[in-house]
């Protein structure tokens, strides 16, 4: 008789980047308190190097009148959990760029949230057609813990690049590190090549620290 055969492991889902595992449910993960939404004073600003050199701002109604899309995308946290096949509905970042064009020479943006959380992105990642300021997840309005009224989703990067409770976008002519990028996370945040930590950075991946 031959040796007992081992059960083959199920093939891992090809949508799962290296070092990630599937998560049941949707954990809440953030630094600091959950901000209270104040509809009368809430605004969404675009500032920095705009083509007009003016700051632009939408109130809650104005922001919700912008074009909308639904993007199907996976979600990868650098702490190694992933959620596959989410539907994110909201305002595509490309619509923000159309409505408030950046000045020539803009290469990066900083996305700002309540309490000063921020994440920097290359303009090409921000302009990607799948990058969305989400108001809904799987057809339901975001809960406040998950970023209501607006969070950014950048499907091709680790999820810290997507601030919850977004309030502003800053157009920049040079790269600058955001909240986690200043605290040891990789400036680029590509889950497929596991660009997790800043010690892995190579010249050209980010500004000097």
E-only strand ranges, 140-198: 140-141, 151-153, 166-172
Interaction site with ligand MTE (CB under 6 A): 26-31, 77, 113, 117, 146-147, 159-160, 162-165
The interface partner of residue 64, options being ligand MTE, Mo ion, none and the CB cut-off 5 to 8 Å by kind, is none
Can you read off the two tokens belonging to residue 58? 């939408």
Please identify, using beta-carbon distances, which residue of 108 and 151 lies nearer to ligand MTE.
Answer: 151
**Residue listed under structure tokens 């406040």:** 144
**CB atoms near residue 154 (< 10 Å):** 23
Instruction: Report how far residue 26's alpha carbon sits from residue 195's, in angstroms, rounded to the nearest whole number.
Output: 23
Please identify, using beta-carbon distances, which residue of 21 and 173 lies nearer to Mo ion.
Answer: 21
Please identify, using beta-carbon distances, which residue of 49 and 169 lies nearer to ligand MTE.
Answer: 169
E-only strand ranges, 114-172: 118-122, 132-137, 140-141, 151-153, 166-172
For residue 138, the minimal CB distance to Mo ion (Å) is 19
> Could you tell me which residues are beta bridge partners of residue 113?
166
The interface partner of residue 146, options being ligand MTE, Mo ion, none and the CB cut-off 5 to 8 Å by kind, is ligand MTE
160 binds Mo ion (CB under 5 A): yes
185 binds Mo ion (CB under 5 A): no
34 binds Mo ion (CB under 5 A): no
Q: DSSP character for 17?
A: P
Is-contact 113 166, C-beta < 8 A?
yes
Q: Is 123 helix (H, G, I), strand (E, B) or coil?
A: helix
Please identify, using beta-carbon distances, which residue of 77 and 95 lies nearer to ligand MTE.
Answer: 77
75 binds Mo ion (CB under 5 A): no
For residue 156, the minimal CB distance to Mo ion (Å) is 15
With CB atoms as reference, the residue minimizing the distance to ligand MTE is: 30
Q: DSSP character for 207?
A: -
The interface partner of residue 28, options being Mo ion, ligand MTE, none and the CB cut-off 5 to 8 Å by kind, is ligand MTE
Instruction: Report how far residue 203's alpha carbon sits from residue 124's, in angstroms, rounded to the nearest whole number.
Output: 19
77 binds Mo ion (CB under 5 A): yes
Can you read off the two tokens belonging to residue 77? 């946290």
Of 2-10, 98-106, 152-160, 162-170: span binding Mo ion (CB under 5 A): 152-160
Binding residues (CB under 5 A) for Mo ion: these are 77, 159-160
């Amino acid at each position: 008789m031959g040796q007992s055969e081992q059960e083959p492991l199920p093939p891992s889902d090809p949508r799962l980047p290296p070092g990630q595992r599937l998560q049941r449910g949707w954990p809440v993960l953030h630094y600091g308190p959950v901000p209270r939404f104040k509809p009368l004073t809430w605004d969404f600003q675009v500032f920095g190097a705009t083509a007009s050199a003016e700051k632009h701002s939408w109130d809650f109604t104005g922001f919700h009148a912008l074009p909308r899309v639904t993007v199907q995308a996976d979600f990868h946290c650098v702490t190694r959990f992933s959620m596959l096949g989410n539907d994110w509905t909201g305002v595509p970042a490309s619509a923000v760029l159309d409505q408030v064009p950046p000045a020539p020479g803009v290469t990066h943006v900083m996305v700002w949230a309540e309490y000063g959380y921020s994440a920097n992105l290359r303009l090409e990642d921000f302009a990607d057609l799948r990058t969305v300021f989400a108001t809904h997840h799987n057809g339901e309005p975001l809960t406040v813990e998950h970023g209501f009224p607006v969070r950014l989703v950048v499907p091709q990067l680790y999820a810290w690049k997507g601030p919850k409770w977004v309030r502003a976008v800053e157009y920049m002519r040079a790269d600058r590190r955001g909240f986690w990028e200043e605290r040891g996370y990789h400036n680029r945040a590509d889950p497929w090549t596991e660009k997790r930590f800043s010690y892995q950075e190579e010249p050209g991946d980010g500004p000097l620290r």
